Structure 1
Amino acid sequence: MPTAIIDGIDTRYEVIGTGPALLMFSPGGFDATIEKWSSLGVYARTRPLEHLSRHYTCIVFDRRETGQSGGRVEHVGWSDYVRQGKGLLDHLGIDKAHLMGGCMGCCPVMAFAVAHPEATLSMILYWPVGGARYRLSSSQRFAEHLAFVHQHGLDAVVSLATSEGKAFGADPRGGPWASVIRRDPAFAERYARQDIGKYKLIVAAMGRTLVDRDTAPGAEPEDLMRLDFPALVVPGSDASHATSAARYIEECLPRAEYWDIAAAEQLEDNTSARLLQFLDSAQAGAA
């Protein structure tokens, strides 16, 4: 697959299909790779990428710090993920696109729409993360990594990431940069040499600001309320994708459509039909 340097970071991406542009922020939490659109949970069941790419130009990518994309040790926030997505559109010469996020990918989609409304045609927010349990589990993940660093040091993080090969979501001890450590020896060397005190401050701030509420993170409600383009919200229903978070997004977005369907009833045929119905209507309205 091709790569591009976006904001100084290697970004692995793929362009699939033809038609209007659809920029897709991958699901998978802190392991948001292209493959998750076909292999993870509800996405393996409904296969959205396969169906949408028959009608739209689907732009998919490994989010920074995941998969084969690179990363940089810094206080990463939603705006940094937005910069990667917008930079990829600029790299491809695309001025406007529909947006779709799955799981944690919904957060940068909302942040993108707030930051770049002129480049946004519509939004699909599929199983947005959020809820009290999601906040607690996410905070615990960062706390476990900080505790491991405090007890064992950064060399131990590098050893763990390279030997176990697990992303941050699967083993919190390896931290947010585990995937980059594993794939890039030069990055791993720099990572181990950095000031451990400053590193712990970065991680603490990152965890607190990425997950800062008991509902869907990503953008402030007042900013969402100012958006004036169509949005489709597809609810999840588990500890990481609270239905209340999906309802909150519906409440905040003036032109939101809420697909009121149980998670277990979201199957390949009805889901692909609903997503395409929404996108076709949004595309017609933008023409």
Structure 2
Amino acid sequence: MPRALSNGMELEYDTFGDPDGPVLLLVMGLGAQMTAWHPEFCRTLADRGFHVVRYDNRDCGLSTFVDDCPPPDIRAVLAGDTSSAPYRIADMARDAAGLLDALGVDAAHIAGASMGGMIAQQFAIDHPSRVRSLCSIMSTTGDRSVGRGTPGALAALAAPPPRDRREAGERGVRSFSVIGSPGYPATPEELRERAEAAYDRSPRSDGFARQYAAILASPDRTPHLRAVTAPALVVHGADDPLIDRSGGEATAAAIPGAELLVVPGMGHDLPEQLWPLLADAITRNAARADGRVTAPAALDAASALSPGAGADSPGHGG
């Protein structure tokens, strides 16, 4: 896969779809490699007219690891002393901007999941002229009073890193059995296979603490989100135990004119059954700014959800 020099980092990335289509940049979350954006989901988006770009954040996957600093003191950062955090979410947003520079892209549609949603929000704040549309998925504003996780989900997040492939597989099963979508559960075999594949691609996990410190050390984005003018979509699982739906609701409320889509049965992952719904929602939001994408006439949530489930009616925040 290609690599690009960006903001002092080398970022591993790949692309899907027509290079002449509008770029959709996908930003993944804490400790997750770009492969967490499943290739078939990327192709689903590409089929709607996007030139899809996914990449590994710094300190993850095959991108640059920030090795020239001591481990962050997470307890101190939580207590307000952020001096040991080597970078912030804003630095990771600059990485994304630098990647677009390397690709010769002036502006793009930006979609991020979890920490990736935080990066996408910060990108829209810091680089407004480069954002065609914004989609924040299962994320939050940085206000610690919203988007809180359950004790079980936070314990899954804080589990020790795996020492080998087998432990990686077992950790994947345990973690996503807790934080995954209860309405669309993956089998233990599927969870193990995904975790082992990620370990095979890159077994390093030492960047996780630095990324987590970046989240904790970054300020509340709420006041600055009120100035975002790009068409915005906020997607959140109604059953997300890691970042409670209040995080998504606060994000939509902060961005003027944002559309909020709360999906029953969805937890803190991107289950295959929801790919059509998510792709349609992203496409419709992008079409508000860019007529080249192929947007469905209406968001038919029921067609993408299992029998008896349905997304809450989209509303408008702000």
Between the aligned residues of both structures, percent identity stands at 22
Q: Which secondary structure state, in structure 1, belongs to the residue aligned with residue 10 of structure 2? A: strand
Deviation at 1:127, TM superposition (A): 1.9
Q: Which residue of 2 aligns with 1:50?
A: 43
| Residue of 36, 59, 63 corresponding to 1:65 | 59
Structure 2: where are the runs of 5+ without partners?
70-85, 141-145, 175-198, 293-318
Cα distance in 2, alignment partners of residues 250 and 260 from structure 1: 11
Which protein is richer in helix relative to its size? Answer: 1
Q: Which residue of 1 aligns with 2:300?
A: none
Q: Residues 24 and 101 of structure 1 are in contact (CA less than 8 Å); yes or no, is this contact kept in structure 2?
A: yes
Q: Which residue of 2 aligns with 1:278?
A: 285
Q: Residues 44 and 279 of structure 2 are in contact (CA less than 8 Å); yes or no, is this contact kept in structure 1?
A: yes
Deviation at 1:140, TM superposition (A): 9.2
Structure 1: where are the runs of 5+ without partners?
40-46, 146-156, 172-177, 192-202
Cα distance in 2, alignment partners of residues 138 and 210 from structure 1: 14
Deviation at 1:267, TM superposition (A): 2.7
Q: Are 2:216 and 1:223 equivalent residues in the alignment?
A: no
CA 1:109–1:116 in 2, change beyond 3 Å: closer, same or farther?
Answer: same
| Residue of 67, 73, 96 corresponding to 1:85 | 96
State the TM-score, normalized to the length of structure 1.
0.68
Farther-moved stretch of structure 1 (235-244 vs 257-266): 257-266
Q: Are 2:124 and 1:125 equivalent residues in the alignment?
A: no
Cα distance in 1, alignment partners of residues 56 and 213 from structure 2: 23
Cα distance in 1, alignment partners of residues 10 and 281 from structure 2: 34
Q: Residues 223 and 254 of structure 2 are in contact (CA less than 8 Å); yes or no, is this contact kept in structure 1?
A: yes
State the TM-score, normalized to the length of structure 2.
0.62
Q: Which secondary structure state, in structure 1, belongs to the residue aligned with residue 26 of structure 2? A: strand
Cα distance in 2, alignment partners of residues 137 and 271 from structure 1: 23
Q: Which residue of 1 aligns with 2:215?
A: 210
Cα distance in 2, alignment partners of residues 163 and 273 from structure 1: 36
Deviation at 1:249, TM superposition (A): 0.3
CA 1:24–1:218 in 2, change beyond 3 Å: closer, same or farther?
Answer: farther
Q: Which residue of 2 aligns with 1:108?
A: 119
Cα distance in 2, alignment partners of residues 30 and 284 from structure 1: 34
CA 1:89–1:238 in 2, change beyond 3 Å: closer, same or farther?
Answer: same
Report the residue type matching 1:270 in the other structure: L
Q: How many residues are aligned here?
A: 236
CA 1:252–1:137 in 2, change beyond 3 Å: closer, same or farther?
Answer: same
Q: Residues 115 and 215 of structure 2 are in contact (CA less than 8 Å); yes or no, is this contact kept in structure 1?
A: no
Q: Residues 13 and 60 of structure 1 are in contact (CA less than 8 Å); yes or no, is this contact kept in structure 2?
A: yes
CA 1:83–1:24 in 2, change beyond 3 Å: closer, same or farther?
Answer: same
Q: Are 2:34 and 1:34 equivalent residues in the alignment?
A: yes
Q: Are 2:32 and 1:9 equivalent residues in the alignment?
A: no
CA 1:253–1:134 in 2, change beyond 3 Å: closer, same or farther?
Answer: farther
Cα distance in 2, alignment partners of residues 179 and 64 from structure 1: 18
Cα distance in 2, alignment partners of residues 225 and 51 from structure 1: 31
